[in-house]
Amino acid sequence: MKILTGGVVAIASFTALSSPVYALPQANVDTVAQHLMGIMDTSAQAQQISEVPSVRMTTCEVTVEGANERFLYQEQALIRNLNQPYRQRFLRLSLSNDGEMVESRTYEPENPETWISLCEQPREERIIERDRITDANCSVYLVPWHNLYIGHTQPGGCPADFRGATQVTNTIVLHGAGMNTWDRGFNAQGEQVWGAESRPYQFRGQDG
């Protein structure tokens, strides 16, 4: 399907679907979590396109004390330097306030270096104290479309302070083989300073 490789189709589809339609069953939260959990990387794409970095994304479920929502921990690192991830975050998955989308809300970890390789610990040991994570005021909203989930950051993007960017935007497509992501950073003048341009980053699972 073109939606797995072309950015225009995915973004247009999300725009068409982002208007409220109907309340989603809670099971959609669990489905999005299953799409995200595990190990995915861009190595296959990087072998074909020199400007695409080889990146690994590792995501696992955690328990946040006192929270009823589902939480995941996620880190991204260059494959050549897995012990120094450049992005670490916790994701709270829940239905949006209107019940019509799945919201993935980002939380930042306190002392990020202490969480490196958290997903290698047994599930029962991945328990997080609520005061050790901070709301990053950034959400991605996802809607189901056939056997995919298409999502976009909140209107106006998310605040950032990373590699010269003051704002980040992202459009993602979750599918059976992994995830496509149009992750972009913009400076205070609205100029893109890093991230996907003409094509998405294609993260694929071990079986993708």
The reported pLDDT for the residue numbered 21 is 58
Q: pLDDT tens digits, residue range 80-122?
A: 999 999 999 999 999 999 999 999 999 999 999 999 999 999 9
Two structure tokens written together for 56: 């690994």
105-114 long-range CB contacts below 8 Å, 24 or more apart? 105/135, 105/138, 105/139, 106/135, 106/136, 106/138, 106/139, 106/140, 106/158, 107/71, 107/133, 107/134, 107/135, 107/136, 108/133, 108/134, 108/135, 108/136, 109/133, 110/134, 112/85, 112/88
Query: Tokens 């496509």 identify what position?
Result: 180
pTM summary value = 0.88
Indicate the residue type of 71. Answer: F
Question: Tens of pLDDT along 114-139?
Answer: 999 999 999 999 999 999 999 999 99
Q: Which residue has the higher pLDDT, 13 or 117?
A: 117
What structural domains and CATH numbers belong to the chain? 2-203 (2.40.128.590)
